[in-house]
Amino acid sequence: MSQTKIVFLGAGAAGLGIAELCVAQMMKEGISREAAEANIFLLNSKGLITKEKAVNLKPLAQRFAKDLPFTSSLLEVVKMVKPNALLGLSTISGAFSPEILKEMAKINPRLSTISGAFSPEILKEMAKINPRPIIFALSNPTIKAECTAEDAYHYTNGSVLFASGSPFDNVEMNGKLYKPGQGNNSYIFPGVALGAILFKARKIPQEAFLIAARVRSVTYIQE
pLDDT bracket for residue 142 (50, 70, 90): confident
Q: Compute the distance between CA of residue 149 and CA of residue 135 in angstroms, rounded to an integer.
A: 10
On average, the pLDDT of the chain sits at 89
pLDDT bracket for residue 200 (50, 70, 90): very high
All structural domains of the chain: 6-183 (3.40.50.720), 185-223 (no CATH)
Output the pLDDT for position 118. Answer: 87
Output the pLDDT for position 221. Answer: 57
Identity of the amino acid at 178:
Y
- Mean pLDDT on 37-51: 95
Sign of the Cα pseudo-torsion (68, 73, 76, 81, in order) = positive
Q: Which of 82, 102, 96 is nearest to 156 (CA)?
A: 102
Distances (CA, A) of 176 to 98, 121, 135, 151, 170: 20, 24, 19, 15, 10
Q: Is the pLDDT of residue 34 over 60?
A: yes
Q: Which of 81, 69, 77, 109 is nearest to 96 (CA)?
A: 77
184 is in an annotated binding site: yes
Output the pLDDT for position 115. Answer: 65
3-class DSSP state for residue 160?
Answer: coil
Residues 7-16 pLDDT 10s: 999 999 889 9
Q: Which residue has the higher pLDDT, 105 or 71?
A: 71
Output the pLDDT for position 111. Answer: 40
Burial zone of 69 (CB within 10 Å; 0-12 exposed, 13-18 middle, 19+ buried): exposed
170 is in an annotated binding site: no
Neighbours of 205 (CB within 10 A): 9
pLDDT bracket for residue 223 (50, 70, 90): very low
